[in-house]
């Protein structure tokens, strides 16, 4: 009878050991996969950061040679001057239209 009890407890012990080993392997694989994904994401992020860094460097170079507000001030002044002249021309055209209408009606 002692042999049957010892056999039972040995089977329970083996079952517990197998379960513990299965749990250890499962957890190890889960950690390994998680670490691989994290490493892959880190590499991807580093590549994206490098690309963005290169884009920022190119933008900085473009901004160095870009036209600033001081260079554009004469252009703005000329545009504003042309707007004033256009307003004057419109006023003169209106006056000419009134004179034309007056003359077409026979001066009345």
Please report, in tens digits, the pLDDT of each residue of the chain (108 residues total).
688 999 999 999 999 999 999 999 998 888 888 889 999 999 999 999 998 988 998 998 888 887 777 888 888 889 989 989 988 899 899 999 999 988 888 866
Query: Residues 23, 76: one domain?
Result: no
Which pair of tokens denotes residue 100?
């034309």
Q: How far apart are alpha carbons 86 and 93 in whole angstroms?
A: 10
Query: Residues 99, 60: one domain?
Result: no
- Angle, CA 53 vertex, CA 45 and CA 68 arms, to 5°: 150
pLDDT value at position 61?
86
Query: Residues 55, 75: one domain?
Result: no
pLDDT value at position 15?
95
pLDDT value at position 62?
85
Query: Residues 47, 75: one domain?
Result: no
pTM above 0.75, yes or no: no
- Which residue is associated with the tokens 């307003």? 87
pLDDT value at position 1?
66
Query: Residues 76, 27: one domain?
Result: no
Query: Residues 61, 73: one domain?
Result: no
Cα separation values, 19 from 22, 30, 44, 45, Å: 5, 16, 37, 38
Query: Residues 35, 46: one domain?
Result: yes
Domain count, the chain: 2
Q: How far apart are alpha carbons 79 and 101 in whole angstroms?
A: 33
- Which residue is associated with the tokens 């079952």? 15
pLDDT value at position 9?
92
Domain containing 18 equals: 1-66
């Amino acid at each position: 009878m002692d042999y049957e009890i010892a056999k039972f407890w040995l089977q329970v012990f083996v079952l517990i050991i197998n379960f513990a080993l299965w749990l250890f392997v499962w957890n190890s694989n889960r950690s390994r996969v998680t670490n691989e994904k994290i490493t892959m994401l880190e590499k991807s992020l580093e590549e994206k950061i490098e690309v963005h860094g290169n884009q920022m460097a190119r933008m900085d170079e473009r901004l160095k040679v870009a036209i600033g507000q001081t260079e554009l001030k004469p252009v703005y002044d000329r545009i504003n001057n042309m707007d004033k002249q256009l307003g004057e021309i419109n006023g003169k055209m209106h006056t000419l239209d009134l004179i034309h209408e007056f003359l077409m009606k026979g001066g009345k």
